Amino acid sequence: MEKVILTGDRPTGNLHVGHYVGSLKRRVELQNSGEYDKIFIMIADAQALTDNADNPEKVRQNIMQVALDYLSCGIDPNKSIIFIQSQVPELCELSFYYMNLVTVSRLQRNPTVKSEIQMRNFETSIPVGFFTYPISQASDITAFKATTVPVGEDQLPMIEQTKEIVRRFNMIYEDTLIEPEALLPDNKACLRLPGTDGKAKMSKSLNNCIYLSDSSEDVKRGIMSMYTDPNHIRVEDPGQVEGNCVFTYLDAFCKPEHFGKYLPDYQSLQELKDHYTRGGLGDVKIKKFLIKIMEEELEPIRARRKGYEENIEFVYQMLKEGSEKARAVAAETLKDVKKAMKINYFEDGEFLEEQISRYRK
C-alpha cells in the first residue's frame, strides 16, 4: 500500500514555534526521509471560515503567510504538494455524503469541538459549519487516501472521527476508503508548547507567542520575558523546573551538542535542571542559553523566508499548481466513493443497461 501523508493548518495567523515543534519540523523530517510516496499539506481556509465567516479578509491574507511559513521551514514543493482547501470542491461533496454516517450526538461528544465551542463563547449560537468540521476534516484526510496524519495531540479526536467514518463507509458500501493513523510528536514537550507567559495556549490575543516570522530582537524579548519560577527570586534560591517555561522550551529545542557550543560548563539538560533545582543558577543564564538555541533554529528559517518573500510570484504559482494536483487526486477518490454509493449513473454504461432491461417489455 502507498504511504501517504496529509496534514494542514487553518490560515488564521502566522505560525508560531508551537506549530513548529508540534508538527512543522516533523513534516520536514518525514518529507526528507523518503519513506512516503506522497505528501499533501493543506491550507485549511474553508475550515478557518467555519468560525471566521465574518472575517474573510483575515483568512485571505493568511494564505500567503502560512505558505511562506511552510516553505521557510523547509517544506519543499518538489517533494510535498501544498494546496488550498477551498480550491478542491470535491472535499465538500465528500463531506455531504459523510454527513449521513455521523450522528449529532457523536459530534457533540467530540472533545476538541467541545472545548473550541467553549473557547469561542458560541454557547447556543454554534455555526452548523463549525459544528460539522470534524466531518469535513475526514474528507480532507480520506480524499487523499492518507495513511498518516502528523498532527498535534488536540487533533486526535478528528482522526478518531475519520476512522469511524471510514469503517462505516467501507461496511455499508464497498471497501473504498483508507483508515488513517495519527502521528504525534515523539518529544513530550513538543505536544503542547506553552506560551511565553506559561499559559497552556499560545495565542495572538494573549501576546504570548514566538512566531516563526519574528525578528531576532522579538525572539530575544520574548524569551527574556518568559515565565519561570515565581519563587526563584535570587540566584541562590532553589528553583522549580516543572511548569517553568524556559525548561519546557529547552526540553523541546535543546540537543546534547548545544552544551559544548553554548554552555560548556554543563554536559546535559538534566545537569542544568539539577543545578537549577538545587539553587545557584540564575534565570538570565538559562534564558540566554535558550536564546542561542532558538536563534540557531530560527535563523535559517528567517533567511529562507526572506528569499521567498522576494519571489511571491513563485509561491503563488506553486499554490495554484499544488491545488490543481490535489484536486485531481481528490476527484479520483470522489469517483470511487460515488461508485461505491451507487450514484455514478453516467460514469459507465451500467445504469443505462440495468434500466433498459428493467423497463423493456
Answer yes or no whether residue 329 interacts with ligand TRP by CB under 6 A: no
Grid coordinates belonging to 193: 508548547
Using CB under 6 A, which of 9, 51, 90, 229 touches ligand TRP?
A: 9
Q: Which is nearer to ligand TRP, 95 or 155 (CB)?
A: 155
Q: Which stretch binds ligand TRP (CB under 6 A): 3-11, 118-126, 206-214, 253-261?
A: 3-11
**Rule CB under 6 A: is residue 8 a binding residue for ligand TRP?**
yes
Taking the least distance from each CB to ligand TRP, the nearer of 84 and 290 is: 84
Binding mask 94-133 for ligand TRP (x = CB under 6 A): ----------------------------------------
Q: Closer CB to ligand TRP, residue 90 or residue 140?
A: 140
Q: Is 16 exposed, middle or buried (0-12, 13-18, 19+ CB in 10 A)?
A: buried
**Vertex 192 angle, CA 60 and 11, to 5°:** 5
**Smallest gap from residue 216 Cβ to ligand TRP (A):** 27
Report residue 7 as a C-alpha cell: 496534514
CB of 209 to ligand TRP, least distance (A): 15
| Under 8 Å between Cβ of 319 and 11 | no
Of 137-145, 206-214, 246-254, 337-345, the segment contacting ligand TRP by CB under 6 A is 137-145
DSSP H or E run through 150: strand 148-150
Q: At 227, phi and psi to the nearest 5?
A: -70, 130
Distance from C-alpha of 162 to C-alpha of 156, rounded to nearest angstrom: 10
User: Which of the ranges 58-66, 148-156, 247-255, 292-300 carries the binding residues for ligand TRP, by CB under 6 A?
Assistant: 148-156
Among 284, 265, 276, CA closest to 237: 276
Counting residues that bind ligand TRP (by CB under 6 A) gives: 13
Rounded CA-CA distance 299/354 in Å is: 65
Q: How far apart are CA 338 and CA 94, in angstroms?
A: 9
Q: By C-beta, is 158 or 246 nearer to ligand TRP?
A: 158
Q: If binding is defined by CB under 6 A, does position 15 make contact with ligand TRP? A: no
Q: Show the site string, 38-67: x = touches ligand TRP by CB under 6 A, - = not.
A: ------x--x--------------------
Distances (CA, A) of 301 to 33, 68, 208, 296: 20, 10, 20, 9
Work out whether 149 is an interface residue with ligand TRP (CB under 6 A).
yes
Nearest Cα neighbor of 9 from 52, 66, 65 is: 66
Q: Which amino acid is at 49?
A: L
Residue closest to ligand TRP when measured from CB atoms? 44
Site for ligand TRP in 179-238 (CB under 6 A): none
Using the minimum distance from each CB to ligand TRP, give the nearer residue, 102 or 151.
Answer: 151
Stretch that binds ligand TRP, among 58-66, 136-144, 215-223, 259-267 (CB under 6 A): 136-144
Sole binder of ligand TRP in the list 140, 214, 229, 283 (CB under 6 A): 140
Q: Which residues contact 260 (CB under 8 A, 6 or more apart)?
A: none
Contacts of 253 (CB under 8 A, 6+ apart): 21, 290, 293, 294, 297
Nearer to ligand TRP among residue 6 and residue 340 (C-beta): 6
User: Which residues here bind ligand TRP, judged by CB under 6 A?
Assistant: 6-10, 44, 47, 137, 140-141, 149, 151, 155
